[in-house]
C-alpha cells in the first residue's frame, strides 16, 4: 500500500523538475545507445516514416511513449517503435519525455555545408 502511494508522488516530483545536467547527459546517451537517433535523427528532426520529435510537448511525448508501450500506434509502420518504447523503464520514459521536449532544436551549421558539384549532367 505504501508503495502504491509513493509512486505517484515520485512521478509528480520528476515531472515538476527540470532535468539536471547529469540527467540530460544520461538521456542524450540513452537516446544514442537505444538507437533512437537512427530513426528520429540525432536532433529528433525526424526521418522518413519516423516522426519529428522536436517541438512536441512533454505531456504529449509521455502519453505517446506510454501508448506505444501498450502497442498503440498511430501508423501501420509504427509497430516498429513498440519494442523501443518497451525498452525504456517507466522512470526513463518520464525523463526521456522531458529530454525530448527540451531537445536542442539548433542544427549545427556543418549539417548545411554540403558541397555541391558544379559539374553534372543536369539530370538529363
Ligand atoms: C526503427 C525506427 C525507430 C526507432 C529506433 C525509434 N523509433 Fe520512435 N518512432 C518510430 C516510428 C515509426 C514512430 C511512429 C509510431 C506510431 O505510428 O505511432 C515513432 C514514434 C515515436 C514517438 C511518438 C511521436 C509521435 O508523434 O507520435 C516518440 C516520442 C518516439 N518515437 C521516441 C523514440 C525514442 C525515445 C526512441 C529510442 C528509445 C525511439 N523512438 C526509437 C520509429 C523509431
The answer as to whether 64 is a domain residue is yes
Print the domain residue range for 69: 20-104
Query: Which CATH number fits the domain that encloses residue 63?
Result: 1.10.760.10
52, 105 Cβ separation under 8 angstroms: no
The answer as to whether 10 is a domain residue is no
Record the pTM.
Answer: 0.81
The answer as to whether 1 is a domain residue is no
48, 54 Cβ separation under 8 angstroms: no
Cα(53) to centroid(ligand 1), Å: 8
Where would I find the H helices in 34-89?
Answer: 36-40, 58-69, 79-86
pLDDT in tens, the chain (124 residues): 556 655 555 555 555 578 999 999 999 999 999 999 999 999 999 999 999 999 999 999 999 999 999 999 999 999 999 999 999 999 999 999 999 999 876 666 666 676 666 676 666 6
The number of CA neighbours under 13 Å toward the Cβ of 118 is 0
The answer as to whether 115 is a domain residue is no
C-alpha cell at 39: 530513426
The answer as to whether 90 is a domain residue is yes
Choose the residue to mutate in 41, 51, 83, 97 for probing ligand 1, maximizing ligand atoms within 8 Å of C-beta: 51
Q: Is the CB of 103 under 6 A from ligand 1?
A: no
The number of distinct structural domains making up the chain is 1
Nearest CA to ligand 1 atom 23: 64
Query: Of 28, 10, 18, which Cα lies nearest the Cα of 96?
Result: 28
Amino acid at each position: 500500500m505504501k508503495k502504491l502511494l509513493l509512486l505517484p508522488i515520485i512521478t509528480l516530483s520528476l515531472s515538476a523538475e527540470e532535468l539536471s545536467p547529469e540527467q540530460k547527459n544520461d538521456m542524450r546517451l540513452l537516446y544514442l545507445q537505444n538507437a533512437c537517433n537512427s530513426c528520429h535523427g540525432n536532433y529528433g528532426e525526424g526521418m522518413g516514416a519516423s516522426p519529428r520529435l522536436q517541438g512536441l510537448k512533454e505531456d504529449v511525448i509521455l502519453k505517446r511513449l506510454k501508448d506505444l508501450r501498450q502497442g498503440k500506434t498511430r501508423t501501420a509502420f509504427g509497430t516498429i517503435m513498440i519494442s523501443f518504447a518497451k525498452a525504456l523503464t517507466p522512470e526513463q520514459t518520464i525523463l526521456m519525455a522531458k529530454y525530448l521536449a527540451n531537445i536542442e532544436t539548433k542544427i549545427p551549421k556543418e549539417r548545411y555545408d554540403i558541397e555541391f558539384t558544379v559539374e553534372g549532367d543536369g539530370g538529363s
